[in-house]
Each structure stands twice: as structure tokens, then as C-alpha cells.
Amino acid sequence: MNLLLFLFAELGVWAAGLGVAALLLPARPVSRVEWMGLALVLGSGGISLALFALSWAVQGGALVAVVAVASGALGMFGIARWRKVRPVALPGGAWFAAVLAALLLVVGWQAGNHPLAADGLFNFEIRAQLAALHGGRVPPAFFSDPARVWMHPNYPLFLPLNQAWIYLCLGGPNQGWAQLLSVHFAAGAACLLFSGVARLTGDAWRGGLAVGMLFLMPAAMNSPGGAISLWADFPLAVIFLGAVIYLVEFEAAGSGLGVFAVLLGLLPWVKREGLVLAGVLVMALLWITWRRGKIRQFPAAIAPLAIVVLGWKIFLGLVHVSADRDFLPVSLSVAFGHADRLPFVVTALARELFAWQRWCLLWPLTLVAVIRIARDPALARWRLIAPVVGSLLALYSGIYIFSAWPSLALHVVTSLPRLLLPVAMPALLAVAAAVPRWGTDKVTK
């Protein structure tokens, strides 16, 4: 019975995402894999935002019914558009689907064998549990409880409300089934990566290579913060991956801005760090729109981001959120006063980039790929990845200047590897795009 209810919950997410994707799809042939990836990612965003907004008006079974009907309506719209547009088949798409099914089976199996822990349990799943026990709404008392400041009450609710949706459909909290959301996000990442790389390079094998690297990279799968652990880091990385893919497409072909804008808006809804990722992408978009003479599109593209950021800030004010103790107030005096931390942080970052147990050889390969992309005019569309990755590495190093933890080393060791996970997504894109074709002198299309 629980399996059927879980599938009903997943169907609701997928249907909502199908409809939202249908509204945003660029005016070009769209593959089934791309549509599927967008449905999974946008559906998660849609369901979490719908629960957050509607749970103040209706709760419990009524909330589930309202959200299910809305998802169903979006799904019908998506299917109608699907029939009209007729998605194209990607070369190698059938192989991709078969291999992905096997990989997801392993991810799901291992997710069931590695229970939620640490941040996944105490920062995210507890909100889902509380929401499910209070009819779908995280009780306002949670956000202002001084005894639970360590649960980071100002963290946004994307992942917890996706888990809460499963709990509401199941009729109560169930951590075993919630763990299967790992499969959902892993599938979303794989579909976006395969379709994005195949579309933008013209080579399906590069898409397969990127997906293979994703599933083999421990930081993305089985390290803390990876897909299986079900912390918010992996969903954040998936949405950032999608945003970067559509930004590259916008720069190369002028399409995909609508999808980019919505994914950009979702970033700070997944995790606070999403604001840093979004900030870097906003700067990149500003540069691209200015260079292409399309600066008028810029305000509309960042509108969803502004709405989410302001909306969440207003909400936190209304519930009198308890102050976070992780970081000192950002000011020049604090920055200069703690500048002596930088050598330690930079050393830790360098050590982390070479930690093969988490990243395999991703970062050295990224460096080579970035050089290749800079030198080869055929790879020009990927050139924005280097500044995006570089500025994020610099920003994430600099953020520890403001750490309020008694032990800076502990703060760095426990968070830096996870901060790098979203940054690894454009790095994967760069490697997949730059790797030379085997057995021929032709480098890339």
C-alpha cells in the first residue's frame, strides 16, 4: 500500500513539473529526456511552493486534495502540449534510459540501507516531520524556538516540503520511504545532464560520459551531501546544473531564458547558499544580456529570484525567526579583522580539490578542460563556465572569514566539501564538452 501511495506522491510531483515545463519550454525541438528532467526538478519546486503557500489556508487531507488536483490539471496541460509538440528522440536515448534505470536501482537500494543522518535529519527531515504532523505546515513556533537555533530555522523549505508531500500522501511520517527521494533527484540530474550535454555538444556520448562521471563521483552520490544522504546539497546542485545548462544555451542560441529564470529563482528556495550561486549566475546573465543587446530581458529573468528571496525574508520576519549563529555580520571591519584566516581556508580548499576519495580527478580535469575551452573557438559557448566556477571557489573561500564557529577548522571541514558540490556540476559540463573524441582528430562539434 505504501508503495502505491509513494508512487501517487511522485506522480503528483511529475505531473506538476510536466505542466510547468510545458509552459516554459524553449521554441525548439525538445527531447523526452530533457522534458523528463525538467518535470522532475520543476515539479519538486512547484510542489514545495504550493504546499508552502496553500498550507496557510487548508491542511491535512484537504491540502493533499487541492495540491493533487492542481498537479493533475498541470499534468493534463503538459500531456496536451506533449502531444502537440511531439518530443524528439535523442540519439542514444534508449540506451541512456536502460542504464539509468539500473543506476537508479542501485541508488534507491543504497538509500534504503543508509538512513538519514546529521543535517539530513536535523536540519531538513525534522521540518518535514513537523509539517506532516501539523497538516502540511511547519508550525511557526519552530522558527522562533531559541532552543532549536542549531536547526537553522532560516533554512528554506524546498527539500522538507518535498518530504512532507510524501508523508502527507502516505498518511504520516515515514523516514524509510522519504529516503527514496534520492532516486528522484538523481534521475533529475541525470536527465538534465545527458540531454543538456548531448544537445549543446551534438554528441550523445558526451552526455553519457557526464552522467557516468556524476554517478561515479562519491561527492555527488555517497558522501555526506550526495544524492543518497538526502541533504539539500544535491538538490541544490541539480537545480544549479539546470540553470547553468540553460544559461549556456541562452548565450549560444538565445533560447532557454524562461527555464533559466525559474531555476534561478528556485536556488535560494533550496538552501541559503543558493543565493551565492544565484548571485554569480545573475552577474553572468547581466554580462550576456548586455553583450547580446538584450538587456531588457534581464529584469524579467531575475524576477522569480527576487520574488522568492523577498517572500522568504518577509515570512521569516513574520514568524520572528531566531538569529543564526554560524556567521558574523558581514562588514569590512570583520573582513579585515579575520583576514588571517584566508591562508588556512585556501590551503583547505586546495587539499579538498585533490581529495580523490570525494572528487576522483574532477578538479584537475576541469582545469585542463577550461584551458582547452579557452583555446578552442569551437568550444566558445562553454567559456562562461570558467568564471562561474572560479568566482564560486573564491566566494566560498571568502565566506569563512565571517565564520562564527569556535573552531574554524571544524566549520571548514564539515561544510566545504558540500559547498563544492553545486560547483562541481558546471565542472562536469566543462569536462564532458572538452574531452577529445577517441580515435579521430576532430575535437568537437
Partner 1 sequence: MKLCVACWWLALTAFAVCGLLVWTRYFAPMSPAFQDPDAALDALARTRFGLEHGAATVRRELDGFAPEAPLLVFGRGDDWTLTEAHFLISYLAWPHPVWCVGMGELPPGQKAPYDFPPPPGLHPAALFFYKVNLPPGMPVRQLSPELAMHDNRP
Q: Note the residues at the interface with partner 1 (CB under 8 A).
A: 2, 108-118, 120-122, 125-126, 130, 139, 141, 145-148, 150, 172-177, 179-180, 209, 212-213, 215-218, 221-222, 356-357, 360-362, 364-365, 368, 406-407, 435-438, 441
The position carrying cell 493533487 is 68
Residue nearer to partner 1 on the CB measure, 205 or 315: 205
Residue nearer to partner 1 on the CB measure, 259 or 433: 433
CA 49 to chain centroid, in Å, comes to: 15
Residue nearer to partner 1 on the CB measure, 385 or 432: 432
Residue nearer to partner 1 on the CB measure, 175 or 391: 175
Minimum gap (Å) between residue 209 Cβ and partner 1 = 7
Contact 255, 297 (CB under 8 A): no
Residue (of 139, 132, 188) closest to 162 by Cα position: 132
Minimum gap (Å) between residue 175 Cβ and partner 1 = 5
CA 87 to chain centroid, in Å, comes to: 24
Residue nearer to partner 1 on the CB measure, 175 or 255: 175
Minimum gap (Å) between residue 121 Cβ and partner 1 = 5
Taking the CA atoms of residue 424, residue 358, residue 364 and residue 196 in that order, the dihedral angle to the nearest 10 degrees is -30
DSSP state of 123: I
Minimum gap (Å) between residue 434 Cβ and partner 1 = 8
Minimum gap (Å) between residue 143 Cβ and partner 1 = 13
Contact 285, 246 (CB under 8 A): no
The position carrying cell 552520490 is 221
Minimum gap (Å) between residue 377 Cβ and partner 1 = 17
Report d(CA 365, CA 342) in Å as an integer: 25
Minimum gap (Å) between residue 341 Cβ and partner 1 = 18
| Neighbouring residues of 238: CB distance < 8 A, sequence distance ≥ 6 | 41, 185, 188, 189, 192, 425
Residue nearer to partner 1 on the CB measure, 35 or 215: 215
Residues pairing with 327 in the sheet? 403
Residue (of 11, 319, 280, 17) closest to 138 by Cα position: 319
DSSP state of 368: H
The position carrying cell 515539479 is 43
Residue nearer to partner 1 on the CB measure, 35 or 155: 155
Residue (of 246, 244, 247, 214) closest to 228 by Cα position: 214
Contact 266, 308 (CB under 8 A): yes
Minimum gap (Å) between residue 103 Cβ and partner 1 = 11
Residue nearer to partner 1 on the CB measure, 204 or 263: 204
Residue nearer to partner 1 on the CB measure, 6 or 400: 6
Residue nearer to partner 1 on the CB measure, 287 or 356: 356
Minimum gap (Å) between residue 177 Cβ and partner 1 = 6
Number of other residues whose CB lies within 10 A of the CB of residue 65: 11
Minimum gap (Å) between residue 235 Cβ and partner 1 = 18
State the DSSP string of 139-208: -HHHHH-GGGGGG-TTS-SHHHHHHHHHHHHHTS--HHHHTTHHHHHHHHHHHHHHHHHHHHHS-HHHHH
Report d(CA 335, CA 370) in Å as an integer: 31
Contact 269, 313 (CB under 8 A): no
